[in-house]
Chain A
Amino acid sequence: MAVFIKMKMNPENKIIKIIPVIIICAIFIILFIQMLSRAGNNDFTSYMLSSKALLENTNPYNTGSPFPYVYPLTLAFILIPFTLLPDIPLQILWFILNVFFLYKIFEWTICHAEFKIDKGKYFFVLIFLIFYLNIIQNNLLNGQINIFLLFLCCLFYVNYKKSNTFLTSLFLSIAISVKLVPVFLLVYLLIRKEYKLIMYVVFLTFIFILLPVVIIGENIFTYYNFYFQKFLSANLSPALNEEYQSGMFYSLTGLIKFINPVLTTGLLQQLFAWL
C-alpha cells in the first residue's frame, strides 16, 4: 500500500504532473464561459464603441456606454482594425490574447529573476492562479486593458535589459499613451540617468497621443479638451464621493480621504480646484 501511495505521489509520475494542467485549463474554460456571458456588456465593448466613434469622427468620450472610455485616444486608434470583426469573435480574440499576455508576463518574470522552478512548476502556476484568481477573473471578464498594459511594461523591461534603445522607448511610450500611469516608469529611468531614453519616450508618447489626428483632424483638441475636463480633472479631485475613490481602496488620494476626510474637503480640495 505504501509503495502504491509513493508511486502515485512521485512528482515524476505523469498523472501527478497532468492534474494541475487539467485544473488550470478548467479554470480558464470557466473564465471563458463567464466572459462570453458578459460579452457585449463590459469595458472592452466600451473601447470598441470609442474606436468606432473615432473612425466616424464623433466624440469617443461620449458614446453613451455605461463604462466610459477614460484613456487617451491612442487605445481607440490601435483598436480600429478590430472594429471590422463582429462582437463575439472579437471578445473571444481579446480573451485569448489576454491569456497569452498573462503567460508571457509569467514567463518573463520568472526568467528575469533567474528563478529555476524545475520540479512542480505546473503546481506552482496553479497555486499562483488560485491566489490571484479574483484579480485575473476581474480583468478577463471585464475585458480590461491592464493585462495588455502590463505586457507592454514587461516588453519595455525585457528590451531595456537587452539595451535596445528603440524598442525600449517604443513600448514604454505606447504603454504611457494607452493609459498614462506607466509614466511612473520614467522615475525608474531617471534614477538610472537614462536621459536620452527619457527624451525618446516623451517624444514618442506625444506622437502616439496625437496620432489619431490623421483620422479626426483638428477635432482631436476638442475631444482631448472634453477628456481633460470630464475625466482627468474630475478623477484627480479628492472631493469625489464615488465608492471606489472614497478611501476604500488603495490610491493615495483615497488613503488621504480614508485617514482624514477633512483634508479632502478643505485644503486639498482648494488646491485641486486651483490646479
Chain B
Amino acid sequence: MESAEKLNNGKKEIGGSSYLNRNCWLVKNLNYAPYKRCQYCEYKFRNCLFLQYQVISLFLIVFIFLLFLLIDKTISALVVITVFALVIIYGYFFNNSTEKIIKANFFQKKAKDALKELTDHLEQRVGEQTKDIQEKAVRLEKLLKMRSEFLDIASHQLRTPTSVIKGTLSMMKEGDMEKMPVEEKTRFIEGMFQKSVKLEGIIDDILVASEMDTANFDIKAEDKIELDKFVEKAVSEHQFDAQEKKLALTFEKLSNGPFKIKGSAKYLEQVIDNLLNNALKYTPQGSISTTIKNDEQNVIVAVKDTGIGIPKTDVGKIFNKFIRGQNARNVYTDGSGLGLFIIKRVMDQHPGSKVWVESEEGKGSTFYLQFPLLK
C-alpha cells in the first residue's frame, strides 16, 4: 500500500523521498536491475545511505570501544576501529567512483540526446527547405510552360497579318492583280492596311506588357476624362465587329452623372478596348451590355457578356500575365493572355481605382472598373 504517493516523471515518491524509478534510463539503456536508481535518485539515495552508513559505523565504533575499554582490551578495540575506518574510507571512494561513472554516463546520454535533437531539427529544416524548393520548382515549371504557350500564340498572332501582307504583295509582284477587277484590288489593299494595323496593335500589347513589368512603370493618370462619353465612343467603334458576329452591343447610363474622373486617357482607351475585344472574342452568341453609373464617391463601368464565362478556379488569377481561362485555352481561341494583365496594371496605376470580375462558366462574365469621382 502506498500512501502520500505522487507520480513525478515516472518516479514514485513515498513520504517525500524518491527511491524507485522504473522509467530510469539506467534501467532501460544500461540494463541496471530495477532496484538500482537513476543518477538523480541514486545520488540522493547514496548520500542518504552513506550518511546512514557513517552514523551506524560511528555508533558501532563507540560501542565496541566502550566494550573493549570495560573489559580492558584496548588494542583489540583500536584494531576494530581501524578496520571500520578503512571500510568507511573504502565505501566513500567506492561511492565517489561509481558516482563519477554514473555522472559520465548521464552526461554522455545528455550529449547523445542533444545531438539527436539537433539532427532531428536539421532534418526537419532540410525537409521544409526541400519542400519549399520543390514547390518553387513546380511554380517555375508552370511559369515556363505558360511563357512557352504565350510565345506560341504570340508568334501565331504576329505571323497571321504578315502572311496576308506578304501574300498580297507577292500576287502584285507576280502580276495577278492585273487580272482582277478594281473592287477586288481595293479589297486587297484594304485587307493589307487592316492587317498592318492589327500587327501594330499586337506589337504594342507585347511592348506595353513588357514595359509594365519594369519597377518604374508610371502612366501619369492626370487627364480629366468624361468617362461616359469615353466609353460610349469605344462602344460605337466596336459596333461593326459586333454586327459581324451577330451580337447585340449596347451602352446605357444607369444614373444621371457626373462621370468625371482623373486618369490616363491613352491607357484607359486601351483598357476599354481590351474589355470590349475580350467580350466579343469569348461571346459566341447573345449580347454585350456596357453600363456606367455613379454614386457620391465613385464611377463604375460594367461590361457584361453572355459568353463562355470563366471557371471558378481561374477567376483569382485571370489578371496575371500569360493567363487565359482554362476554357478559353481548351478551345484554342487566339489570345495573347496579355489583355487583362494590361488592364489590371493600368487600373493599379490609378489611385483609388480597381477592377474585378464576376463570372459563371457557360453563362457569361461581367467586368467592373471603378474610379473615384472627380469633384
Partners in one complex: no
